[in-house]
Structure 1
Amino acid sequence: MSKSSAPDTKQIQYDRQLRLWGDHGQNALESARVCLIGANTLGTEILKALVLPGLGSFTIIDHQLVTLADCGSNFFVHPSKIDKSRARITCEFLTQLNPDVRGTYIDKPSIDDLLKQNTFNFSQFNIVITANLPMQTLSILANHLWTLKIPLIIARTYGFIGTIRLQVFEHYIIEAHPDDTIPDLRLDRPLITFLNYCNSFNFDCLTREEHLHLPSLVILFKTLQQWQKQFNRDDSPCTRIEKDEFKKLLEKFSHHSAYDIHDHNKSLENFDEAKRTIPSRLIKTNLSSTIKELFQDQSCLELTSQTDIFWFIIHALKLFTENEGQGLLPVRGEVPDMITNTNSYVKLVEIYQEQAKKDCEIVHNYLCDLLKKYNRLSNHNLNLHHLVQIYCKNASFLKVLRTTAIKNEDDLIDKTESDLSWYIGLHLCDIFYEKFHRYPGECLLDEKQFDIDLDDLKQISKQQSSKHIMSNNKQDILEELCRYGASELHSIAAFIGGCCAQEIIKLITHQYVPIDNTLIYNGIQQSTILLLCCLTLKFVNLLSIREPDNRQHNQTNADPIVIEVNWTAHDYNLHTIPSLQLVTNPLVSRQFSPVSKEIFANLKQLNAEYARYAVWFPYPKLAVAELDPPSGLLQCGNVGENYPLHLSCERNGGVISQIDFASYGTATGACGQMKQGSCHAENSSSIVQRICIGQKSCTIIAINDIFGDPCYGTLKRLLVQMECNPPQNNTYWNFTYMDPMLEDFLDATAGHSRIISF
């Protein structure tokens, strides 16, 4: 393996996320600029989840000073920073999480003054985020951003309730990453090269070995040819009777004259695979409903010099479909894994990839012609091949998301017995704020003030509601909201912040499908609901999409909704898995707290399915393992499979003099305490010694090509401990000491999924 093929530092740092959105998605994230308005608990949690994966830059707008209340829930401030600029303090801490991210802040003037002056350039940002911004300010900002066509994420936490609202004029989803895609193999309309390849096989002339390794795709197509000939058809079997006849033919082809008598009862894996994949292979190839809608969209049909490049490519795809594609999109170029020999599989991949390449080139030519026609072809977009490849590969899943504007949500229809009631309750709290300049239950002086605030909130509800009689459920919700007093709970802010960051990354990378409009999280019941605003008259009709539960939904007085079901189409699933996060804090540490034992006993009783142990500011030292002092002698390395291990004694002009330990397999242990695992390549030490002894530095790549494969199918690591001559001033840390609080956490969550964050 050459040095150029080894992963660089950035690939190692961002390895997991690169598997999700690729190099081009990471490049988009690293060049993105976001603006956060509100450096409160929720705002900093959102930015934290963006800074860690490598956001390009952020700007915080917040004129508030750090308060004692902030220190109780926001881990990016500290009591020593009270009365200092909250924007500056949080910006400094956030940038420490990832040195590659640039952060700036604006603490004067306030966001209200910036909007009044109308001089601040919001167009410099890819996305603007608000965290618990008052509705009056939010409405002005939202209207301004809607005009600029800048996406707006509105995040909010209010006690145990959290919401995320997306306002986007037009967002393009290029790589939707659907869960269960049907392979684009086109057996009903085969490629010419695939047809010729299949015709080169004659079942009667195959050897026993060829028959055993015949690709299931070829088996299906040859069977389909015979079925069409036998029944004088030109399509694929559709009914159950037709499919049964097809399976009989398939079973007939599985027998071969070259087999001996002992083979007749043998199950042939490639033919079993062919039978198993009939539902996903023998389907009619056609255009998806989403791409048909895009082809008929006004933006596609009426291109201008100002049209986004997305619609130019959609139009180029449309021209391809109407001409060379003969009603079909470009070939995707992917072949699913199957039981066959390597040569046969490689041949199939070459067939489909070659056709995909040809189709992509045609689409590229159409695109260039369109760009020339509208004077859009410049040096900046001359190299469009890679972009066109991505569009062609994902053509069946391209989508456009257009949400409603905030200004169209002034009134909400009255509904009860649903999480939607919480959303309506938050809307009523906003009206309360506009009237009294504080939220209900906030800054209470006595119990009487609570009752007064609750009565005022109920009165506002009656004025806004289409019904004047409050249900008991709704009264309970209003009382609960009044009790919250607009408080920020860190657990709710962390959950909403993480979800919000996911949606922002989707928008930046144009990958995966963002929420359509509004998501509500109920921390009491740990449930989510997605609201789609679909009609704005005097009231806004809201359709709710809820995760399945066993509760009976109440009927509402509304016109019936006609739902068309397509059993063969599947877009995507929205999954929400509630998890419990335990944050390092003196109040739950047994060194400091007299109630620590009870806290962890309750944690164990909760029986949480997912639990996270997190170390955040301002108490990072409590849960970080104690560190041993530098050894001054040993130097160790520990890398995963397929990664390079670098060892060096260059600091004092020394050389590598001794290899104390080397193991490629499942070895474990810190420096000075390494030990072999059950999987170990016996040649590990000799190979490392041969490469490194006597050298100032050496690099060894942890791969099977060098060490062999001591345990097939197991993820391996390379651990090495060596000494230098003369000794180097090396430093290693021994993480063998475990913090008592971490011990308590592991004990309380034994047997369940756990994540430890340092």
Structure 2
Amino acid sequence: MKKDLRYDRQVRLWGDDGQSAIGSTTVAVLGASALGTEILKSLVLAGIDSFCIIDDALVTEPDLGTNFFLEAADLGKSRAQAALRLLKELNPAVHGTCSLRSPTSTTDAHLDELRPFSVVVATNMSESRVSSISAYLYERGIPLIYSRVFGFLGTIRIAVAEHPIVNTHRENPPPDLRLDAPFPELQALIDSVDLEKMTDEQVRHTPYLIMYAVALREYRKSMGDPAAFPTTFAQRKAFLPYVMALARERESGGTDENFDQAKTSLTRGMLKTTIPAGVRAVLDDAKCAEGEAATAARGTDPFWIVATAIRRFVDRHGVLPLAGQLPDMASDSASYARLATVYHDRAIADADEVLAEARAIEEKRTTATDADAERDENDDGSGESSKRLKPSPPSPSSISHETCMRLCKNAAAVALQRGTPVDSWRGPGFRPVLATIAATAQTDEETGEVKSVDPKAGSAHPAVWLLMQRAADRFDEEKSRFPGVRFPGTNGIPPEMDAKDLWERVKRIIDEGLKNEEGSGEESMEQDDLTVDSVLAQVPYSVCSEMCRYAAAEPHAVAALLGGMAAQEVIKLATRQYIPVENTLVYDAHSGLSDTFKL
């Protein structure tokens, strides 16, 4: 089957450029449990370039009960090889391999194996074991998705130093019309329209955008302000009669379709041209900085080069490059095509201007980087170069016209995420989670006192489950097993004893989280009234019993759901489209509740 047919439906979500990015993505998955194979299932079907399963475990009977990519005949065989065989059948165009070594190994050689991959996915590993892997990948800018299933508890953590988003796919974004400050070509088109000389039929087929522009002239005259523009509800209500005054009477009564559209589109059509705060943050980032002092911070990623060029464009014109797209409008084909051509041509001209700037920036930054590298290579230790620097031959630009056009078109929808490595929760980053738990407290209506949660409560806030996951990991670090898990030699320890041990670890983690403020730099953390008791009062003891009941099990239903969610995050990272989970997501399958946290 041809690729364009195989991936037709998903291309409608992220476009040809997004599918191309997926098709060049390589993924390493640490662990071939049910969660790992469910993640790979969705990625293989989506059409990634290749994947590698890293796992040294053998197939056991519990695996057969939870993992649909293992068969009874695989019992006792390599779990990675068995899963690989069936996963490759899903999409012959995707190349798959496996490495039969421990997924938790952190030797230099094993860490270096991860370097070529676009994304690394770690599954069902405790944070103490994944932290070294996270630190290695974080320093090299390789995204890590760390996902776990622990009974009815599911978590997804994205640890990446920096993730630019080229298109957030904002829901119902406003059109970029520029009626408050029309560019010269649009102004010329508006000035050429003389409604008084038009027939009734011609007026009825004039796009409502032109009606707005003509009415705006009269509105400004009446206001005595050549820059007046209706931005509030009251102002738009006062502006509407100027638009409707342009309509021609109909013998049959009623209103023409283009004027009906003018009424319904007024709120979205009459918007001042602005630069969204998130976009402004990208343009003001150090990687878009100019000047010699900012050389070290400059980004050589095509995204940052084009972003720097867009910043120059904004400094020069005061607006973002024109998107060049118009909403549907009631109009005859000729009038709409004329208007659309004006916007389209201007968008291309803006993108061409940005492209010229981008290639100049790219050449300058590449030359500076090559010169620095050659100085390092030729430095004889005396502080002077032992050779005369030779200019590097020009290299082809990494910024195509299509790339620049796409970024300019979506300039109002770019964003930037910066994350933290997995072990960041050991510092002050976990305090907001504790604050969230304390904030769930309810107040007694009669006494006004804060009530403690029912210790036998059947559900808990997702933040509580994140705390319990930490406590279970601490339990595992100290006892080499998770609470509720029975191994030979545990002498039949009852679950109640594990629950008590787990509760003590919960107390210690809360105490450590509240004391560890070093480097937080936030005065609010020192001024809040969080205490161990105020947090612990909102943690029902029943969750300890529930964690022991889970016993680190991996129900397939939860693994399938989390696997699909984690695969979706991989695709977001690969395409740089849509907004990934910012840091950590916690899902409670018992209640169906979920929440996100920045650790």
Task: State the TM bucket, normalised to the shorter chain.
Answer: 0.7 to 0.9
Post-superposition offset of 1:120: 3.1
Taking a change above 3 Å as real, the CA distance of residues 378 and 73 of structure 1, as seen in their structure-2 partners, is farther
Post-superposition offset of 1:336: 0.5
Q: Who is 2:181 aligned against?
A: 189
What secondary structure is seen at the aligned counterpart in 1 of 2:135?
A: helix
Kindly indicate whether residue 66 of structure 2 is the aligned counterpart of residue 66 of structure 1.
no
- Counterpart Cα distance in 1 of 2:558 and 2:241: 58
User: Which residue identity is paired with 1:247?
Assistant: L
Kindly indicate whether residue 144 of structure 2 is the aligned counterpart of residue 101 of structure 1.
no
The correspondence for 1:251, drawn from 244, 247, 259, is 244
- Counterpart Cα distance in 2 of 1:32 and 1:49: 13
- Counterpart Cα distance in 2 of 1:481 and 1:179: 38
- Counterpart Cα distance in 2 of 1:19 and 1:239: 36
- Counterpart Cα distance in 2 of 1:277 and 1:511: 28
Q: Is the 8 A contact 1:294 1:314 kept in 2?
A: yes
User: Which residue identity is paired with 2:135?
Assistant: N
The correspondence for 1:198, drawn from 177, 185, 190, is 190
Q: Root-mean-square deviation (CA), in Å?
A: 2.0
The correspondence for 1:441, drawn from 484, 492, 505, is 484
Post-superposition offset of 1:232: 1.5
What secondary structure is seen at the aligned counterpart in 2 of 1:176?
A: coil
Counterparts in 2 of 1:115-154, with a 5 A limit? 115=107, 117=109, 120-154=112-146
Q: Is the 8 A contact 2:158 2:419 kept in 1?
A: yes
Counterparts in 2 of 1:48-447, with a 5 A limit? 48-108=41-101, 110-115=102-107, 117=109, 120-233=112-225, 234-255=227-248, 262-263=251-252, 265-301=253-289, 302-303=294-295, 307-323=300-316, 326-375=317-366, 379-381=395-397, 384-410=400-426, 412-413=430-431, 414=434, 415=437, 417-443=460-486
User: Which residue identity is paired with 1:275?
Assistant: K
Q: Which runs of 5+ in 1 are unaligned?
A: 1-7, 534-758
- Counterpart Cα distance in 2 of 1:217 and 1:32: 43
The correspondence for 1:485, drawn from 534, 551, 555, is 551
User: Which residue identity is paired with 2:501?
Assistant: D
What secondary structure is seen at the aligned counterpart in 2 of 1:375?
A: helix
What secondary structure is seen at the aligned counterpart in 2 of 1:52?
A: helix
Post-superposition offset of 1:328: 0.4
Q: Who is 1:521 aligned against?
A: 587
What secondary structure is seen at the aligned counterpart in 1 of 2:585?
A: strand
Taking a change above 3 Å as real, the CA distance of residues 205 and 286 of structure 1, as seen in their structure-2 partners, is same
Taking a change above 3 Å as real, the CA distance of residues 144 and 227 of structure 1, as seen in their structure-2 partners, is same
User: Which residue identity is paired with 1:289?
Assistant: A
What secondary structure is seen at the aligned counterpart in 1 of 2:149?
A: strand
The correspondence for 2:542, drawn from 443, 456, 476, is 476
Q: Who is 1:464 aligned against?
A: 509
Post-superposition Cα deviations, 1:362-418, rounded to whole Å, max 9, x if no partner, equal: 101101111122236954426621110011001111111101222211264443652
Post-superposition offset of 1:203: 2.0
User: Which residue identity is paired with 1:126?
Assistant: S
Post-superposition offset of 1:296: 1.6
- Structure with bigger RCO (C-alpha 8 Å, 6+ apart): 2
- Counterpart Cα distance in 2 of 1:437 and 1:448: 14
Q: Is the 8 A contact 1:115 1:141 kept in 2?
A: no
Q: Is the 8 A contact 1:187 1:221 kept in 2?
A: yes
Q: % of aligned pairs identical?
A: 32
- Counterpart Cα distance in 2 of 1:49 and 1:11: 18
Residue range with higher mean Cα deviation, 370-379 or 282-291: 370-379
- Counterpart Cα distance in 2 of 1:241 and 1:74: 60
Post-superposition offset of 1:478: 1.0
Q: Is the 8 A contact 1:518 1:530 kept in 2?
A: yes
Q: Which runs of 5+ in 2 are unaligned?
A: 368-392, 439-459, 512-531
- Counterpart Cα distance in 2 of 1:339 and 1:14: 34
What secondary structure is seen at the aligned counterpart in 1 of 2:56?
A: coil
Post-superposition Cα deviations, 1:273-310, rounded to whole Å, max 9, x if no partner, equal: 11221111111112111222122211111345763222
Post-superposition offset of 1:226: 1.2
Post-superposition offset of 1:144: 1.3
Post-superposition offset of 1:91: 0.9
- Counterpart Cα distance in 1 of 2:269 and 2:394: 42
Post-superposition Cα deviations, 1:646-676, rounded to whole Å, max 9, x if no partner, equal: xxxxxxxxxxxxxxxxxxxxxxxxxxxxxxx
- Counterpart Cα distance in 2 of 1:235 and 1:211: 25
What secondary structure is seen at the aligned counterpart in 2 of 1:442?
A: coil
Post-superposition Cα deviations, 1:324-371, rounded to whole Å, max 9, x if no partner, equal: xx2001110101101111111111111100000101111011011111
User: Which residue identity is paired with 1:457?
Assistant: L
Counterparts in 2 of 1:577-656, with a 5 A limit? none
- Counterpart Cα distance in 2 of 1:117 and 1:10: 36
Q: Is the 8 A contact 1:36 1:130 kept in 2?
A: yes
Post-superposition offset of 1:468: 5.6
- Counterpart Cα distance in 2 of 1:75 and 1:332: 46
Q: Is the 8 A contact 2:118 2:142 kept in 1?
A: yes
Taking a change above 3 Å as real, the CA distance of residues 189 and 519 of structure 1, as seen in their structure-2 partners, is same
TM-score normalised by structure 2 residue count: 0.83
What secondary structure is seen at the aligned counterpart in 1 of 2:366?
A: coil
Q: Is the 8 A contact 2:359 2:399 kept in 1?
A: no
- Counterpart Cα distance in 1 of 2:103 and 2:38: 20
Q: Is the 8 A contact 1:286 1:327 kept in 2?
A: no
- Counterpart Cα distance in 1 of 2:141 and 2:540: 37
What secondary structure is seen at the aligned counterpart in 2 of 1:44?
A: helix
User: Which residue identity is paired with 1:14?
Assistant: Y
Post-superposition Cα deviations, 1:403-445, rounded to whole Å, max 9, x if no partner, equal: 1222211264443652100010011000000011110001267
Taking a change above 3 Å as real, the CA distance of residues 130 and 112 of structure 1, as seen in their structure-2 partners, is closer
Counterparts in 2 of 1:717-728, with a 5 A limit? none
Taking a change above 3 Å as real, the CA distance of residues 26 and 365 of structure 1, as seen in their structure-2 partners, is same
- Counterpart Cα distance in 2 of 1:98 and 1:375: 39
Post-superposition offset of 1:116: 5.7
Post-superposition offset of 1:316: 0.5
Taking a change above 3 Å as real, the CA distance of residues 115 and 151 of structure 1, as seen in their structure-2 partners, is same
- Counterpart Cα distance in 2 of 1:242 and 1:335: 24
Post-superposition offset of 1:201: 2.1
What secondary structure is seen at the aligned counterpart in 2 of 1:122?
A: coil
What secondary structure is seen at the aligned counterpart in 2 of 1:519?
A: strand
Q: Who is 1:705 aligned against?
A: none
- Counterpart Cα distance in 1 of 2:56 and 2:193: 75
Q: Who is 2:570 aligned against?
A: 504
Provide the aligned length of Structure 1 versus Structure 2: 518
Taking a change above 3 Å as real, the CA distance of residues 84 and 241 of structure 1, as seen in their structure-2 partners, is closer
What secondary structure is seen at the aligned counterpart in 2 of 1:465?
A: helix
Q: Is the 8 A contact 2:22 2:47 kept in 1?
A: yes
Higher strand share: 1
Taking a change above 3 Å as real, the CA distance of residues 430 and 239 of structure 1, as seen in their structure-2 partners, is closer
- Counterpart Cα distance in 1 of 2:239 and 2:23: 53
